[in-house]
């Protein structure tokens, strides 16, 4: 009887997995129907798309680096410390997950129309309708994902390890960098992977804040949108496959380099 | 888990109770966003008078065409410019014999309310401190017209450095100036009517406009109810439909459009009748 229920269980999980595999393969195969190899090659080689590829990889990578630098300490604080208003802050930081990216983009655009926003732009760099705007938009969208993942990672690490490190005369910095962070490695990698993937696919916030100027702020997702807007379905599908190939390759690479299979 | 699933399916069925009380005819129309206000009102009026429901989809004309091509559905296609109608004809998405010209559009300079930068002509767009926005010249028809207009007047090279952004759609181009993101856009004359409190129109000298655009409509080859689709198209072309176009500031005849652009070439769709 036990053997039967075990087999039933395996069957159940296998059916679910099979469903997802067939579902996504089905979508991809039906897309392939709309393009051909020649279009794919000519699209990759076109100046516009090779620019888009570089822009997308560069902006997403910078956004993830900035985001991780800020989200790791934030997540640590939310996970380890108790203070008044913590629940409020926790909820506030979840807002980017709930709000549609396009409204985040609109909010950023409005912010830079205010005197404060304008003076920030004057003092630093221009974000509106320019390349840094893409990075800022991606940063805004991925911040919540990154904080959330890092927080749950820190939540799962027993604070006793740090306490032990402290008794061995580590200061807080040393305890964090030598003990907690190495223990959080898998979570950190998962957070970087997911945030990066989300940044690469970001559309709504970037197009609203940075515009859709060809050869300037045209990321791959914007290129997909523009090419669908010209009713050029072959090219649209070709760009989707390019985005897919690059992303799969990079994600695979991160997993290999990081040595272990992260928990995602 | 299964309980939750069942509950949500039941709630879904309850919420989207799709079983129609009476069997009402329905046509699906894919429109370029350039005619949004008109189409919404026209669809309501048509439904009231003819009892045929019109489901409207709005986006960029090209996006709409893509959706029709991919899904192989839709009864009517009403893009924001004739260029997309030509494309739809070439891709055999519409029946060329059914094309009707519904309204005409003329490019103008649209500025912020009160014209704070005192822009009076196309030349003023070359001034160094002016920020100009246009639609994406390849995918957005109003962007394509902007570039053509500037090139025709030999100003493209000098205005180009001031073009800070390409918008991804017709309505986003209009929004650039209402949200005060740019000082001026080159847009359709109707943009100013969409948001009269926040925008002003600066008329371009009539002889400097090289091309008039039109909003055409045609029945799709995928239509499952060509008769109803034809009725709606006829309605849009009738006096009642044209009145709605005029109400929102669209030019309903080529003669009217000619007043603003006497030398302009007419849209090159020749109706075969």
Topology annotation, domain B107-208: D-Maltodextrin-Binding Protein; domain 2 (3.40.190)
| Residue contacts between A and B (CB atoms, under 8 Å) | 63
The string of DSSP letters for B113-177 reads: TT-TT---SGGGGGSTT--EEEE-TTT-HHHHHHHHHHHHTT-HHHHGGGEEEEESSHHHHHHHH
| Pairwise pLDDT comparison (B254 vs A202), residue with the higher score | A202
A113 interaction partners in chain B (CB closer than 8 Å)? 179-181
Q: Please answer yes or no on whether A233 and B69 come within 8 Å at the CB atom.
A: yes
A221 interaction partners in chain B (CB closer than 8 Å)? none
Cα–Cα distance, B191 to B186 (Å, whole number): 10
CB-based contacts of A26, cutoff 8 Å, min separation 6: none
pLDDT at position A263, please?
A: 45
A128 interaction partners in chain B (CB closer than 8 Å)? 181
Q: Model confidence over B124-135: pLDDT tens digits? A: 999 999 999 999
The parent domain of residue A138 ranges over 24-257
Asked if ipTM goes beyond 0.90, one says no
Q: Please answer yes or no on whether B180 and A113 come within 8 Å at the CB atom.
A: yes
> CA gyration radius for chain B?
21
Q: Residues A84-111: what's their mean pLDDT?
A: 92
Give the rounded percent of residues in chain B with a pLDDT score beyond 70. 95
pLDDT at position A259, please?
A: 65
Confirm or reject contact between B115 and chain A (CB < 8 A): no
Going by C-alpha positions, the residue among A209, A210, A188 that lies closest to residue A52 is A210
Q: Please answer yes or no on whether B140 and A211 come within 8 Å at the CB atom.
A: no
Range from A28-42, A71-85, A125-139, A196-210 carrying the lowest mean pLDDT: A28-42
Range from A193-207, A245-259, B60-74 carrying the lowest mean pLDDT: A245-259
B169 band by pLDDT with thresholds 50, 70 and 90: confident
A 191-250 residues with CB below 8 A of B?
207, 211-214, 222, 225-233, 236
B80 band by pLDDT with thresholds 50, 70 and 90: confident
B256 band by pLDDT with thresholds 50, 70 and 90: confident
CA dihedral A43, A44, A45, A51 (to 10 degrees): 100
pLDDT at position B21, please?
A: 53
Q: Please answer yes or no on whether B166 and A228 come within 8 Å at the CB atom.
A: no
Domain ranges of chain B: 24-104+214-258, 107-208
Give the rounded percent of residues in chain B with a pLDDT score beyond 90. 57
Q: Model confidence over B201-228: pLDDT tens digits? A: 999 999 999 988 889 999 999 999 999 9
Q: Please answer yes or no on whether A113 and B181 come within 8 Å at the CB atom.
A: yes
The pair of structure tokens assigned to A17 is: 């997995």
Q: Residues B255-261: what's their mean pLDDT?
A: 86
Q: Residues B11-23: what's their mean pLDDT?
A: 66
Asked if residue A40 belongs to a domain, the reply is yes
* pLDDT above 50 (res A45): yes
Range from A149-153, A156-160, B5-9, B55-59 carrying the lowest mean pLDDT: B5-9
**Chain A: closest CA distance from residue B213 (Å):** 17
User: Where do we find the tokens 């998962």?
Assistant: A190
Confirm or reject contact between A252 and chain B (CB < 8 A): no
pLDDT at position B155, please?
A: 94
Mean pLDDT of the residues in chain B: 88
Give the rounded percent of residues in chain A with a pLDDT score beyond 90. 61
Cα–Cα distance, A146 to A166 (Å, whole number): 27
**Chain A: closest CA distance from residue B181 (Å):** 8
CA angle B196, B202, B207 (to 5 degrees): 135
Asked if residue A48 belongs to a domain, the reply is yes
> CA gyration radius for chain A?
22
- Three-class DSSP category at A193: helix
Confirm or reject contact between B198 and chain A (CB < 8 A): no
Q: Please answer yes or no on whether A228 and B136 come within 8 Å at the CB atom.
A: no
User: Where do we find the tokens 């390759």?
Assistant: A249
Assess contact for B131 and B162: CB atoms under 8 A. yes
| Pairwise pLDDT comparison (B71 vs B147), residue with the higher score | B147
CATH number reported for the structural domain that contains residue A165 in this entry: 1.10.3720.10
B140 interaction partners in chain A (CB closer than 8 Å)? 229
Output the CA torsion sign for B120, B126, B130, B136.
positive
B36-50 and B226-237 helices, crossing angle to 10°? 120
- Ranges of beta strands (E only) in B142-266 are 163-167, 184-188, 199-202, 213-219
The pair of structure tokens assigned to B120 is: 């009076």
Give the rounded percent of residues in chain A with a pLDDT score beyond 70. 97
Q: How many beta carbons lie within 10 A of that of residue A168, not counting itself?
A: 11
Cα–Cα distance, A239 to A171 (Å, whole number): 50
Cα–Cα distance, B129 to B178 (Å, whole number): 19
Q: Please answer yes or no on whether A231 and B136 come within 8 Å at the CB atom.
A: no
B165 interaction partners in chain A (CB closer than 8 Å)? 129, 211, 213
Cα–Cα distance, B119 to B121 (Å, whole number): 6
Please state the domain count of chain A.
1
The pair of structure tokens assigned to B46 is: 């048509």
The CATH code of the domain at B24-104+214-258 is: 3.40.190.10
Confirm or reject contact between A128 and chain B (CB < 8 A): yes
Q: Residues B5-13: what's their mean pLDDT?
A: 81
Q: Please answer yes or no on whether B87 and A229 come within 8 Å at the CB atom.
A: no
Asked if residue A7 belongs to a domain, the reply is no
The string of DSSP letters for B47-101 reads: HHHH-EEEEEEEE-HHHHHHHHHHHT--SEEE-SSHHHHHHHHHTT-B-GGG-EE
**Inter-CA distances, A165 with A80, A169, A173, A174, Å:** 16, 7, 11, 8
Please tell me the number of Cα atoms within 13 Å of B107 on its side-chain side: 31
Confirm or reject contact between B179 and chain A (CB < 8 A): yes
Cα–Cα distance, A227 to A205 (Å, whole number): 18
pLDDT at position B268, please?
A: 63
Cα–Cα distance, A246 to A19 (Å, whole number): 25
The pair of structure tokens assigned to A167 is: 């008794």
B200: β partners: B111
Going by C-alpha positions, the residue among A163, A154, A152, A149 that lies closest to residue A183 is A154
* pLDDT above 90 (res B153): yes
């Amino acid at each position: 009887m036990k053997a039967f229920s075990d087999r039933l269980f395996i069957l159940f999980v296998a059916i679910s997995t099979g469903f997802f595999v067939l579902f996504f393969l089905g979508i991809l195969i039906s897309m392939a129907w709309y393009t051909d190899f020649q279009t794919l090659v000519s699209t990759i080689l076109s100046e516009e798309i090779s620019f888009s590829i570089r822009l997308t990889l560069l902006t997403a990578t910078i956004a993830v680096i900035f985001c991780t630098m800020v989200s790791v300490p934030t997540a640590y604080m939310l996970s380890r410390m108790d203070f008044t208003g913590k629940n409020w802050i926790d909820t506030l930081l979840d807002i980017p997950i709930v709000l549609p990216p396009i409204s985040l983009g609109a909010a950023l655009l409005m912010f830079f129309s205010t005197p404060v926003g304008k003076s920030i732009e004057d003092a630093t760099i221009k974000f509106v309708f320019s390349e840094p705007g893409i990075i800022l938009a991606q940063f805004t969208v991925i911040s919540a994902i990154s904080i959330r993942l890092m927080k749950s990672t820190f939540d799962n690490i027993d604070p006793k390890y740090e306490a032990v490190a402290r008794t061995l005369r580590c200061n807080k910095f040393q305890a964090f960098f030598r003990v907690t962070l190495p223990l959080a490695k898998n979570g950190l990698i998962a957070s970087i992977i997911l945030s990066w993937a989300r940044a690469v696919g970001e559309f709504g916030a970037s197009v609203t804040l940075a515009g859709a100027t060809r050869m300037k702020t045209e990321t791959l997702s914007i290129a997909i949108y523009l090419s669908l807007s010209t009713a050029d379905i072959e090219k649209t599908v070709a760009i989707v496959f390019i985005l897919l190939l690059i992303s799969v390759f990079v994600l695979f690479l991160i997993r290999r380099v990081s040595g272990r299979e992260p928990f995602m | 888990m299964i309980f939750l699933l069942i509950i949500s399916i039941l709630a879904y069925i309850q919420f989207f109770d799709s079983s129609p009380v009476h069997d009402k005819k329905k046509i699906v129309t894919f429109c370029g966003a350039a005619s949004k206000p008109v189409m919404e009102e026209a669809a309501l009026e048509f439904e009231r008078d003819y009892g045929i429901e019109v489901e409207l989809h709005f986006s960029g004309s090209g996006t709409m065409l893509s959706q029709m091509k991919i899904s192989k559905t839709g009864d009517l296609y009403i893009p924001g410019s004739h260029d997309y109608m030509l494309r739809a004809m070439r891709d055999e998405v519409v029946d060329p014999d059914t094309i009707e010209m519904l309204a005409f559009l003329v490019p103008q300079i649209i500025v912020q309310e009160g014209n704070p930068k005192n822009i009076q002509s196309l030349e003023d767009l070359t001034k160094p401190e002016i920020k100009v926005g246009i639609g994406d010249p390849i995918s957005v028809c109003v962007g394509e017209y902007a570039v053509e207009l500037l090139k025709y007047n030999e100003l493209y090279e000098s205005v180009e450095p001031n073009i800070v952004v390409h918008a991804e759609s017709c309505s986003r181009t209009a929004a650039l100036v209402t949200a005060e993101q740019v000082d001026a856009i080159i847009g359709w004359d109707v943009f100013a009517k969409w948001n009269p409190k926040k925008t002003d129109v600066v008329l371009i000298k009539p002889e400097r406009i090289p091309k008039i655009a039109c909003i055409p409509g045609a029945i799709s080859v995928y239509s499952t109810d060509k008769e109803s689709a034809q009725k709606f198209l006829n309605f849009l072309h009738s006096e009642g439909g044209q009145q709605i176009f005029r109400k929102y500031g669209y030019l309903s005849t080529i003669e009217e459009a000619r007043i603003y652009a006497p030398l302009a070439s007419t849209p090159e769709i020749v109706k075969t009748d």
